[in-house]
């Protein structure tokens, strides 16, 4: 919320990425930026990897968007990240609106 409050909407996703990185550092939030996540299928690991914007606390995928609104495709993207990596929680942050838009994505069994 602080990033959107300071910058508003209209910047490129990479600008919000850098600002969020700064806020994570300032607030001692454990995170990995652009981590490489393995994709599991049955008992194998694919050579293809997912690279989300952030993973916080080794368990929350954070995906940044700059769009008119969070779409079904954005939701599906994060849900697929969760399914493939076996993580349970994702967060979509959309900086493209006049107010910060966010959506929590939970992988249920």
Helices and strands (H and E) in the chain: how many = 3, 7
**Beta bridge partners of residue 45, listed in sequence order:** 40
Per-residue pLDDT, 72: 96
- Given a cut of 80, whether residue 109 has pLDDT beyond it is no
Residue 71 φ/ψ, nearest 5 degrees: -100, 170
Q: For the segment 77-107, what is each residue's pLDDT rounded down to a tens digit?
A: 999 999 888 899 999 999 999 999 999 999 9
Domain residue extents for the chain:
2-106
Residue 5 φ/ψ, nearest 5 degrees: -60, -40
Nearest to 91 by CA among 42, 57, 46: 57
Instruction: Indicate the fold that domain 2-106 takes in CATH.
Output: Lambda Exonuclease; Chain A (3.90.320)
Q: For the segment 23-77, what is each residue's pLDDT rounded down to a tens digit?
A: 999 999 999 999 998 888 888 999 999 899 999 999 999 999 999 999 999 999 9
Per-residue pLDDT, 27: 96
CA distances from 18 to 7, 26, 74, 97 (A): 12, 12, 20, 18
């Amino acid at each position: 919320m602080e990033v959107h409050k300071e910058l508003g909407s209209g910047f490129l996703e990479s600008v919000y990425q850098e600002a969020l990185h700064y806020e994570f550092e300032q607030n001692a939030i454990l995170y990995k930026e652009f981590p490489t996540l393995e994709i599991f299928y049955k008992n194998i690991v694919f050579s293809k990897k997912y690279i989300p914007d952030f993973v916080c606390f080794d368990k929350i995928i954070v995906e940044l968007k700059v769009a008119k609104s969070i779409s079904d495709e954005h939701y599906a993207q994060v849900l697929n990240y969760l399914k493939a990596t076996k993580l349970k929680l994702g967060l979509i942050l959309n900086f493209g609106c006049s107010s910060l838009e966010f959506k929590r994505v939970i992988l249920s069994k």
